[in-house]
Amino acid sequence: MRELSYRHALREGLDEELTRDENVVLMGEEVAQYNGAYKVTEGLWKKWGCKRIVDTPISEAGFIGMGIGASMLGVRPVMELMFWSFHSVAFDQLVNNAANVRYMSGGLIHCPIVVRGPANGGTGVGATHSHTPEGLFAAFPGLKVCSPATPADAKGLIKSAIRDNDPVYFMENTLLYGNTGPVPDPEDGDFVIPLGLADCKREGSDITLVAHGASVLQALEAAEKLAADHNISAEVIDLRSIRPLDEEAILKSVRKTHRLVVVDESKPFSGVAASIAALVQEKAFDDLDAPVLRVNSIDAPAIYSPGIEKEQLPNARRIVEKVLTIA
Amino acid sequence: MAAKKTTKKKSTKSPATKDYASAEINKQLTAEDKIELYRKLVRIRRFEQFSLKEYNGGKMGGFLHLYIGQESVAVGAVSLMGENDHVITAYRDHGHALAVGMGMNECMAELYGKITGCSKGKGGSMHYFAPDKNYWGGHGIVGGQTPLGIGLAYGLKYKGLKGSALTFLGDGAVNQGAFHESLNIAALFELPVVFIIENNGYSMGTSQVRSSAHPEEGLAARADAYNMDWDVCMGENLYEVRAHVWDAMKRAHEQSKPTILEIKTYRYYGHSVADANAKKYRTKEEIEKYQRDHDPLKVWQAVLEAEGVLTSEQAAEIDNAAKEEAKAAVEFAEESAYPEVSDISTDIYWELDNDTEASRQGTLLFD
């Protein structure tokens, strides 16, 4: 199979959806003439022109609210946040308008938008630019959240997100944009991955590692170390989508391995991992041979120091150490 | 943007001396049209008076932001709407709702939180919607609806439709960041939006002079910063409201350009009914002066009687009919059922409500 970078796979997905539906519009800061701050949209403005690929001012509340309003009239805006960290200046639009308008109108309105961009730490940009808000937004009924780890998943999920008739908040990762991996050729058919479908990235029998986004790669690296150094067979479940959540995939794996460590780059309190731990103790308590443990970022604002910032994030060493306490 | 400095203020004649009745858009009105406008004013007034009584009787929860005193603004603006004109407003939204043609029953039932309400009891007073009537709410956060308003305008422009997005806000909303972001984008992208500042003089309990830095000409003059046209008018007379709103709508329709229109008006009640200080931050005399000399219903009735279009007997009949309609709406709301507990969990996701394939994968709503 051909190999594409994560960023290229995303771009291909966007391009295919621009072709499929004339109401799809890409908008955001620097997405058009500058070719995207992280080059995800490179070449799309040249191909599609100013109507479909729209540069906005640095004005997140303004242009995200505008996209929400336009979606109510049938436009399907795909809006780039240069960093998901900038959600805070558009929060009212993201949660009060996008998430609530269907409910408050008694189901008369829907809001088919996608907001996408990178949501990760580890790039030496400090606390303001290193937020991982997938758990935050997944906490709002009315929103959907996904976070792909591989190029193929990025393409398949962005296409589903754009076709979805509800707001989907799509969280990418600047550290993954350059990663390459196999992505099916468009000539072999329309490649779409449904939201809410987890993927078993590595089969194992002794312990389950549940992760999403870049943490999946850390979990896979840890699994290799566990196998090589400790003879522990770890299964890695990639959630891909946080809401909807593939509960069955998690529970099925836990029922097989009887041990679970959740790896999640967000902070320990009130995060995705905390929710999954609650879910598993409630629905698979008798299947567990050990407490559900979590590897999160160390509970502090994201540190700048390039010398140690990677230590704040989940990494293979921290995952292995955590696993060894229960396996 | 052109470097040339332009002052965009349009209106040069003093509103008090201008003959708005002879404005082209008003000359088109038939006697029936004028009476219908009167009926709309009266229906809003009576609907809200009945809702106030029931609110005070403990029949509904939350807030009740009454529009009484401002009716001519929504009625005048909405009366100009065509197929591709849309309207969105903030939480003082009952008047706009009735003006676009929503029924008293569904609106009253929504206040009661009943399943027969326009939002099935899920929105409440601040969140009325009727997309089939181009009415996009009903929004609770001050200024938060203004980016949605430019979005409606964006949608119209994207689809090549000749229309406008009437985006209402209060005078207190002009200091919100989202509003200024909306102004910049509206001007930059040349969006067909009309921002209508309903200036009732008070942002909750804080008067305009204590809340907004502004030039003598008014709040709308902030448009100058965005090279946008702006205009100011008085809101008590429907002819005047219609003439000024139509100027702005034409700019949207014909040039796809935004306008800020500030309409000076007055609310007789508090910010909401729960506003315990409604009569403390302004004098009783001030309120009485507006009720006596500037009431939009009295003004329009006097105009129509002077024109020989309406008799006081007809006016009384219209008023009685509105009272009966409002009374029946109260009965309808009283008799309607509350939503079931199971209704809490619908109308959250379109895909789930429509039982699509996309909704069947994974958990969307958690225990």
Closest residue in B to A108 (Cα) is B131
* Cβ within 8 Å, pair A62-B141: no
Largest CA distance in chain B: 67
Q: Which of A82, A90, A263, A264 is CA-nearest to residue A177?
A: A82
- Are the beta carbons of B79 and B28 closer than 8 angstroms? no
CA–CA distance, A179 with A4 (Å, rounded to integer):
8
Position B199 pLDDT exceeds 80: yes
Catalytic residues of A: 60, 129
Q: Which fold has domain A199-324?
A: Rossmann fold (3.40.50)
Mean pLDDT, rounded, for B177-186: 98
Residues of A in contact with B176 (CB under 8 A): none
B358 is in which domain, residue-wise? 337-367
Tens place of pLDDT per residue across chain A (327 aa): 899 999 999 999 999 999 999 999 999 999 999 999 999 999 999 999 999 999 999 999 999 999 999 999 999 999 999 999 999 999 999 999 999 999 999 999 999 999 999 999 999 999 999 999 999 999 999 999 999 999 999 999 999 999 999 999 999 999 999 999 999 999 999 999 999 999 999 999 999 999 999 999 999 999 999 999 999 999 999 999 999 999 999 999 999 999 999 999 999 999 999 999 999 999 999 999 999 999 999 999 999 999 999 999 999 999 999 999 999
Are B115 and B238 found together in one domain?
yes
Are B308 and B169 found together in one domain?
yes
Mean pLDDT score of chain A: 97
pLDDT tens-place string over residues B276-309 = 777 789 999 999 999 999 999 999 999 999 999 9
* Cβ within 8 Å, pair A105-B181: no
Mean pLDDT, rounded, for B328-350: 98
**Which of B136, B151, B361 is nearest residue A244 as measured by Cβ atoms?**
B361
- Are the beta carbons of B98 and B76 closer than 8 angstroms? no
The runs of H, that is alpha helices, within chain B are 24-27, 31-56, 71-78, 94-100, 104-112, 146-158, 177-188, 208-211, 238-255, 284-293, 296-307, 312-335, 350-353
CATH 3.40.50.920 location in chain A: 199-324
Residue B244 corresponds to which tokens in the numbers above?
A: 């000024």
CA–CA distance, B276 with B284 (Å, rounded to integer):
14
Residue A237 is predicted with a pLDDT of 98
Are B361 and B308 found together in one domain?
no
- Name the minimum distance, in Å, from the CA of B32 to any CA of chain A: 32
pLDDT tens-place string over residues B18-37 = 799 999 999 999 999 999 99
**Which of B121, B129, B177 is nearest residue A61 as measured by Cβ atoms?**
B177
**Domain assignment present for B279:** no
Provide the number of structural domains found in chain B. 2
- Name the minimum distance, in Å, from the CA of A253 to any CA of chain B: 15
pLDDT tens-place string over residues A60-71 = 999 999 999 999
Residues of A in contact with B351 (CB under 8 A): 164-166
Mean pLDDT, rounded, for B34-46: 98
Position B197 pLDDT exceeds 90: yes
Q: Which amino acid is at B181?
A: E
Position B60 pLDDT exceeds 90: yes
Mean pLDDT score of chain B: 94
Residue B276 is predicted with a pLDDT of 78
Q: Which of A78, A62, A66 is CA-nearest to residue A27?
A: A78
Position B8 pLDDT exceeds 70: no
Residues of B in contact with A106 (CB under 8 A): 117-123, 129, 347
Q: Which CATH number does the domain housing residue B204 bear?
A: 3.40.50.970
* Cβ within 8 Å, pair A72-B152: yes
Residue B274 is predicted with a pLDDT of 85
Chain mean position to CA B129: 12
- pTM equals 0.96
Residues of A in contact with B350 (CB under 8 A): 102, 110, 112, 165-166
Are B301 and B365 found together in one domain?
no
Position B87 pLDDT exceeds 70: yes
- Which ipTM was obtained for this model? 0.96
Q: Which of A68, A207, A218, A146 is CA-nearest to residue B155?
A: A68
Residue B12 is predicted with a pLDDT of 45
**Chain B contact probe: residue of A18, A25, A54, A72 with most B CBs at under 10 A:** A72
- Tell me, yes or no, if A88 comes closer than 8 A to chain B by beta carbon: no
**Which of B120, B152, B350 is nearest residue A106 as measured by Cβ atoms?**
B120
Are B365 and B304 found together in one domain?
no
CATH 3.40.50.970 location in chain A: 3-188
CATH number of A3-188: 3.40.50.970
- Name the minimum distance, in Å, from the CA of B181 to any CA of chain A: 5
- Name the minimum distance, in Å, from the CA of B265 to any CA of chain A: 27
Position B154 pLDDT exceeds 80: yes
Mean pLDDT, rounded, for B208-214: 92
Burial (0-12, 13-18, 19+ Cβ within 10 Å), B212: middle
- Are the beta carbons of A207 and A257 closer than 8 angstroms? yes
Mean pLDDT, rounded, for B192-219: 94
Are B146 and B262 found together in one domain?
yes
CA–CA distance, B296 with B72 (Å, rounded to integer):
6
Residue B14 is predicted with a pLDDT of 44
For residue B9, what pLDDT band results from cuts at 50, 70 and 90?
low
Residue A80 is predicted with a pLDDT of 98
**Which of A93, A96, A195 is nearest residue B361 as measured by Cβ atoms?**
A195
**Domain assignment present for B155:** yes
**Domain assignment present for B8:** no
Residues of A in contact with B348 (CB under 8 A): 102-103, 141-142
Are B241 and B351 found together in one domain?
no
pLDDT tens-place string over residues A176-235 = 999 999 999 999 999 999 999 999 999 999 999 999 999 999 999 999 999 999 999 999
Closest residue in B to A249 (Cα) is B362
* Cβ within 8 Å, pair B148-A92: no
Residues 6+ apart with CB under 8 A from B113: B60, B61, B121, B124, B338, B339
Q: Which of B105, B98, B88 is CA-nearest to residue B68?
A: B98
- Name the minimum distance, in Å, from the CA of A185 to any CA of chain B: 23
Match 């306008």 to its residue by tokens. B259
CA–CA distance, B43 with B64 (Å, rounded to integer):
17
**Chain A contact probe: residue of B86, B154, B180 with most A CBs at under 10 A:** B154
The three-class DSSP label of residue A118 is strand
Which 137-176 residues of chain A touch chain B by CB within 8 A? Answer: 141-142, 144, 160, 163-166
CA–CA distance, B138 with A318 (Å, rounded to integer):
50
Q: Which of A3, A5, A92, A12 is CA-nearest to residue A47?
A: A12
Residues of B in contact with A278 (CB under 8 A): none
* Cβ within 8 Å, pair A92-B141: yes
